[in-house]
Amino acid sequence: LNGNVIIGAGGGLRNELEEADIPPTAAKPKINESGRQSADKKPRKKAAPIPLKPKLQDDTKKVIDPPGNFDENLGEMGKPVTLPKEMTDEMKKAVETGWTNNAFNQYVSDLISVHRTLPDPRDAWCKDSAHYLSNLPATDVIICFHNEAWTVLLRTVHSVLDRSPEHLIGRIILVDDYSDMPHLKTQLEDYFAAYPKVQIIRGKKREGLIRARLLGAQHAKAPVLTYLDSHCECTEGWLEPLLDRIARNSTTVVCPVIDVISDDTLEYHYRDSSGVNVGGFDWNLQFSWHAVPEREKKRHNSTAEPVYSPTMAGGLFSIDREYFNRLGTYDSGFDIWGGENLELSFKTWMCGGTLEIVPCSHVGHIFRKRSPYKWRSGVNVLRKNSVRLAEVWMDEYSQYYYHRIGNDKGDWGDVSDRKKLREDLQCKSFKWYLDNIYPELFIPGDAVAHGEIRNLGYGGRTCLDSPTGKKHQKKAVGLYPCHRQGGNQYWMLSKVGEIRRDDYCLDYAGKEVILYSCHGGKGNQFWTYRENTKQLHHGTSGKCLSISEKKDQLLMEECSQSLTRQEWLLESYDS
Ligand code: LR7
Ligand code: MN
C-alpha cells in the first residue's frame, strides 16, 4: 500500500519555532495568515493553502532546520513527505523519538499543515445530492485519545471542522483517556479555546478506549454519534452520506471507507468504490477485510451504494444515539482495546439493525504496526474481552473460539447483565447471524477434523505449526512440539479436502508446503486423509506428507505404508 515519492527538503520548521513560544489562546483570531477561516465556519475554498504551522510538541521543539529547502506545501493533497537522506544527528534523533512515542512518523506529521488538503476520493455518483435527504440530523463527533501526537490530533479535529457542513456538527468531544504527554494538558485546552464546538473531557483514570467512548457518549446531545480514532483525516463530503443512512432508518449503523494514511510518509491512499471491502472475522475473533460478496453486489446498481457488512473495524462509525443506548452501548467490562467492534457488530445485526459500509464516505486512518501505549500487565486484555463477547453473543459457536485458545478462558468477570440485555432485546441467534449475514465464514464444525495435526514418527510429539495471515503467506509451514493450546497448531480439514486455518490453506506446488489463500479449486490445496493408513495424501502430486528426522521440516514423499513419519493423527477427526 505504501508507494513513496521523494520530495525536496527545505526549511519548513522556521515558522513553528517562531510560533512555538506563543501559546495560542482564546484571544487569538480565528483567521490565519492566509485569510482562511480556521474555526467552525467551514473554509471550503481550495485557494493557495498556506499552512498554519502548529505549535510543536515539546520533544520536537529542539529540532533545528533540516538541510536543504522544504517545500511550503508539504503533504498537501495528501502527498507523501519523505525525509531527506542527509539528516543532522539531532534531526535523526527527533525522527526516532517520534517513532518510539507514536509508532508512526511524528516528525513528518509535524512538518505538514494541520489544515492540509486531501484528494477527493469519491465516485461521481456520490456528488449527486439527489442521493441524500435534504434534512439531515446533526452529529456529535467523539474522539478518544491516549497520548496522541499533537499535530495528528489537531489534524483529525480540523479535518472534521474544515470538511463538514457546520450545521451538521453539534460538538466535537475530545475524550482524554488519562494521557500524560505534556502537550495534551493546558496547551490543548488553550488551543481549542478558540473553537466553541470543541469540548475536552478528561477521564480520572486510564479507562481504555471502550469506556472512554462511553464517557464521550454521556456528554453527547446531538441525535447522532460519530466516533473517530485520534489519528484520522476526513475527506470532502464524508459526513452527509453517513447521516443520510441514519436519517432514513435509525437502526442503520454506518462506517465510512477507511483509507490508509501511511505511518511513514503520511501519504493519503484511496481506491475507488469498486475496491470497497466489507468486514468479517475469524475464529480467533480477529477482525478481517473481505471483498464485497457476489450476493451483495447483486443488490446494487452502483458500487457507490452502501453495502451490508457483517462487522465493522471499530474505530470509525456513526450511530443513532438513542439506538446505541437501546443496544446497550458497549460492554463496559471491556478493557483497553479490542473486541468491542465485534460486540457492536453482532448485536446490531442480531437485534434487528443493519450495519453498512458507505463507499461515498472516506476517512483516512494512520495504521500502525504496533501499539505505542501501555496495556495492563498480568492480564490478557484482548482475551478477556473476547471471552465476554463469546459468552454473551456466540451461543454454541463460542466453543470454536475457545478451542483456538486451548480452552484457556481465564477470568472474564460477570456477564449476566449483558445476557439479560440480549434477552430483553429478543435478539436472534448467532446461527441466524452466520447463516444470513456472514454465510462466507467457514465453520469449524463443518470440517472433517479440527484441532492439532500430529505426526506419529520419531516419538509422535510433533505438530504442524505456523502462524497464518497475509504476512505469512507463501512461507513454508513449520513443525513444533505439540502444545494443545490451539493457536498456531489449530487446523481444519475441510470437507472439500483443504487443510486450513481461516482463509489460508496448505498448498504444495512441487517445492515446499506453504500457506496460500484458499482458492477452493482443489489442485495444489487438495489433501485426503486415509483413515486406515493415517496418511495425508496430496492431490496433484500423489505424494504423502511427512517430516524430516530432525522434526524441523515438512517433506513430501512417495507414499509408503511402512513409514510412521508419514502417519498423522487429526484431532476430533470424524469420518
Ligand atoms: O487505552 C486506550 N485509550 C484510548 O483512548 C487505548 C487507545 N485509545 C484510543 C487511541 O488513542 C485511538 O484513538 O483509541 C483509539 C484506537 O486505538 P488505536 O488507534 O491504538 O488502535 P487501532 O487503530 O488498531 O484500533 C482499531 O481497533 C480497536 C479495537 O478495540 C478500536 O476499535 C479502534 O477504534 C480501531 N480503529 C479503527 O477501526 C480504524 C481502522 C483500523 C482497522 C481495521
Ligand atoms: Mn487507530
Instruction: For residue range 272-305, list pLDDT tens digits in order.
Output: 999 999 999 999 999 999 999 999 999 999 999 9
- Summarised one tens digit per residue, pLDDT across range 145-177 is 999 999 999 999 999 999 999 999 999 999 999
* Ligand 1, pocket-test mutation among 157, 258, 259, 337, most atoms within 8 A of CB: 337
Residue 91 pLDDT greater than 80, yes or no:
yes
Domains of the chain from N-terminus onward: 133-366 (3.90.550.10), 381-436 (1.10.8.460), 444-570 (2.80.10.50)
CA distance 407 to 402: 5
Q: Average pLDDT of 416-431?
A: 98
pLDDT tens by residue, 224-256:
999 999 999 999 999 999 999 999 999 999 999
Residue 146 Cβ contacting ligand 1 at under 6 Å: yes
Tens of pLDDT along 114-137? Answer: 999 999 999 999 999 999 999 999
Alpha carbon distance 154, 192 (integer Å): 9
Model confidence pLDDT, tens digit, residues 338-356:
999 999 999 999 999 999 9
- Higher-pLDDT residue of 26, 321: 321
Amino acid at site 169 = I
Neighbour tally for 330: CB within 10 Å:
20
Coil vs helix vs strand at 499: strand
* 176 touches ligand 1 (CB under 6 Å): no
Angle formed by the axes of helices 340-350 and 381-393, nearest 10°: 10
| 174 alpha carbon, closest ligand | 1
Name the strand (E) or helix (H) holding 215. Answer: helix 209-218
Q: Is 237 a pocket residue for ligand 1 (Cβ < 6 Å)? A: no
Q: What pLDDT is recorded for position 206?
A: 93
Ligand 1 atom 33, closest CA: 315
Residue type, 36: R
- Gap between the Cα atoms of 481 and 459, Å rounded: 10
For the segment 6-17, what is each residue's pLDDT rounded down to a tens digit? 222 222 222 222
What's the confidence (pLDDT) of residue 375? 81
pTM of this prediction?
A: 0.84
Name the least confident of 54-68, 159-173, 228-242, 323-337: 54-68
Q: Is the pLDDT of residue 556 over 60?
A: yes
- Residue ranges with strand state E in 162-245: 169-176, 198-202, 224-228, 232-234
SS3 530: strand
Rounded CA separation 136/243 (Å): 6
Q: Which residue has the cell 437485534?
A: 351
% of residues, the chain, pLDDT over 70? 87
Q: In this structure, which ligand is nearest to the CA of 314? A: 1
Q: Alpha-carbon distance 508 to 524, whole Å?
A: 5
For residue 139, is it left (φ>0), alpha (ψ between -120 and 50) or beta?
A: beta
Compute the distance from residue 145 Cα to the ligand 2 centre, in Å. 9
φ/ψ of 541, rounded to 5, equals -90, -20
Res 72: pLDDT: 60
pLDDT for 473 equals 86
User: For residue 336, which atom of ligand 1 is closest to its CA?
Assistant: 1
Axis-axis angle for helices 416-424, 381-393 (nearest 10): 40
Ligand 1 touching residue 145 (CB < 6 A): yes
- The pLDDT, as a whole number, for residue 56 is 43
CA of 371 to the centre of ligand 1 (A): 9
Residue pair 222/170 in contact (Cβ under 8 Å)? The answer is yes
Q: What is the ipTM of this complex?
A: 0.94
Choice from 229, 255, 282, 382 to test ligand 1 binding pocket (greatest atom count within 8 A of CB): 229
